[in-house]
């Protein structure tokens, strides 16, 4: 009977894959519905994992002075949440007002730009009479053009109103999801030892001991790698932001602190995150000086090449135990599959897979007495 178990298991897996291939639409809608239902709790679990990194360090420091573990746990949890909230508030307060002011300046400059275009067209028609005749013929249909333009504006206003209602509803849903996620994260952090103990009891009750020991070993490895990835990613973001601020100060570019904070924040998205900050920063600088905006883009492109090929693979690669070439591959594949979320998650996932495969390969080579021969390849 034991020999038939793998056969039954393999058959069940093949049947499931066959059903999934024939019902991709149903499977996809079911997964989306499940993700939507569990979304706040998954986000809360992610928040708890991220907050646990600084919280664990602060809790160790507090326990050296305060012997009450519950008080140290609560204080470190609140401090971690406050620190993250203050960092986000600082970034938004630095960046959003400048973006709004830039949009306002662009809006104020549109009439002057239209006048310059009109003067340029008038000068062009004086030099090219055929173009003037063509523009004069277009004026014959000006009434129809006005009517069509009015219809377009009316449809646009209607679409904007509908979109505004949709955005407002989405914002309310996002706020509710965020509140639930934060509360769930606080519960996890407050009772993480108890939850871990309950999970172990359930696994030991229903699974073989060796399998549970292996699962726990993989979970400890994953926790260590993900924690190292978060710390390394934050370190890399600070380093890149400081490089940006130093370069902008040397070249005397405007909005040095604001843009450096923005780029440092967006650099949390592995390797490609700086592009987002670069686009926004260039738009901010372009209002003051288009030439300085070009200098800024060139400077960031140079910094990004240095960061992507030297700094990022070393800082983040060392923190997760993954060689630089695999870091870049994981970011590329993760981004193509799941966008920004894939970029953030695939590096530590690839590191876990790399460690497990390396361990398994080492065991197999040792069993075949090929350690020395494989090392010489």
DSSP state of 207: S
**Which tokens in the block code for residue 104?**
């306002």
| Each residue's pLDDT tens digit, 82-137 | 888 888 787 777 767 766 766 666 666 556 655 665 666 666 666 666 555 555 55
Contact 218, 352 (CB under 8 A): yes
pLDDT at 352: 83
List the alpha helices (DSSP H) in the chain: 4-22, 24-65, 69-127, 129-139, 142-190, 192-206, 209-250, 256-266, 273-288, 290-306, 312-320, 324-367, 371-375
pLDDT > 90: percent of the chain: 2
Task: Report the chain's mean pLDDT, rounded to a whole number.
Answer: 75
pLDDT at 25: 73
pTM (2 decimals)?
0.63
pLDDT at 293: 86
| Each residue's pLDDT tens digit, 209-254 | 888 888 888 888 888 888 777 777 788 888 888 888 999 899 888 8
More confident residue, 150 or 218: 218
Q: Is the pLDDT of residue 266 over 70?
A: yes
pLDDT class for 265, splitting at 50, 70, 90? confident
Q: Is the pLDDT of residue 65 over 70?
A: yes
21-25, 75-79, 85-89, 98-102: least confident range: 98-102
Quickly tell me which residue has 């971690």 as its tokens.
80
Contact 295, 265 (CB under 8 A): no
pLDDT at 231: 78
Calculate mean pLDDT across residues 262-268.
82
pLDDT at 58: 84
pLDDT class for 74, splitting at 50, 70, 90? confident
DSSP letter string over 284-349? HHHHH-HHHHHHHHHHHHHHHHHIIIIIHHHHHHHHHT--HHHHHHHHHHHHHHHHHHHHHHHHHH
pLDDT at 5: 64
| Each residue's pLDDT tens digit, 298-329 | 998 888 777 767 776 666 656 566 776 777 78
User: How far apart, in whole angstroms, are the C-alpha atoms of residue 314 and residue 171?
Assistant: 39
pLDDT at 376: 44
pLDDT at 182: 83
pLDDT at 377: 44
Q: Is the pLDDT of residue 81 over 80?
A: yes
> CA nearest 237: which of 317, 180, 311, 343?
311
Q: Phi then psi for 229, rounded to 5 degrees?
A: -65, -45
pLDDT at 201: 92
| Each residue's pLDDT tens digit, 182-200 | 888 888 888 888 888 898 9
More confident residue, 291 or 108: 291
pLDDT at 48: 83
More confident residue, 288 or 147: 288
Q: Is the pLDDT of residue 353 over 60?
A: yes
DSSP letter string over 24-42? HHHHHHHHHHHHHHHHHHH
Quickly tell me which residue has 């080492």 as its tokens.
362
| Each residue's pLDDT tens digit, 153-183 | 556 545 545 555 555 566 677 777 878 888 8
């Amino acid at each position: 009977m034991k020999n038939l178990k793998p056969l039954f298991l393999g058959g069940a897996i093949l049947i499931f894959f066959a059903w999934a291939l024939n019902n991709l639409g149903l499977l996809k809608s079911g997964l989306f519905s499940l993700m939507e239902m569990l979304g706040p709790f998954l986000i809360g679990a992610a928040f708890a994992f991220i907050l646990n990194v600084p919280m664990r360090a602060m809790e160790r420091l507090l326990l050296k002075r305060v012997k009450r573990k519950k008080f140290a746990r609560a204080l470190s949890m609140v401090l971690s949440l406050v620190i993250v909230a203050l960092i986000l508030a600082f970034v938004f307060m630095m960046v959003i007002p400048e973006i709004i002011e830039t949009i306002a300046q662009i809006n104020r400059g549109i009439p002057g730009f239209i006048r310059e275009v009109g003067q340029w067209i008038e000068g062009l028609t004086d030099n090219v009479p055929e173009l003037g005749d063509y523009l004069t013929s277009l004026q014959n249909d000006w009434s129809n053009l006005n009517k069509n333009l009015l219809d377009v504006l009316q449809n646009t206003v209607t679409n904007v109103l509908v979109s505004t209602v949709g955005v407002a509803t989405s914002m309310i849903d996002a706020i509710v999801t965020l509140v639930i996620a934060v509360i769930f994260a606080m519960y996890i952090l407050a009772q993480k030892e108890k939850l871990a103990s309950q999970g172990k009891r359930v696994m030991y009750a229903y699974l073989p001991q060796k399998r549970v020991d292996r699962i726990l070993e993989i979970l400890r490895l994953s926790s260590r790698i993900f924690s190292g990835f978060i710390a390394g990613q934050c370190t890399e973001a600070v380093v890149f932001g400081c490089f940006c601020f130093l370069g902008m100060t040397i070249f005397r570019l405007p909005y040095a602190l604001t843009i450096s904070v923005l780029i440092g924040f967006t650099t949390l998205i592995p390797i490609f995150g700086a592009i987002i900050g670069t686009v926004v920063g260039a738009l901010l600088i372009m209002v003051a000086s288009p030439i300085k905006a070009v200098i800024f883009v060139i400077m960031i492109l140079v910094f990004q090449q240095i960061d992507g090929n030297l700094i990022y693979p070393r800082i983040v690669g060392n923190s997760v135990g993954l060689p630089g070439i695999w870091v870049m591959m994981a970011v590329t594949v993760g981004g193509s599959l799941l966008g920004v979320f894939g970029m953030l998650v695939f590096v530590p996932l690839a590191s876990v897979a790399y460690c497990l495969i390396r361990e398994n390969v080492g065991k197999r080579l040792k069993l075949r007495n090929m350690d020395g021969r494989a090392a010489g390849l």
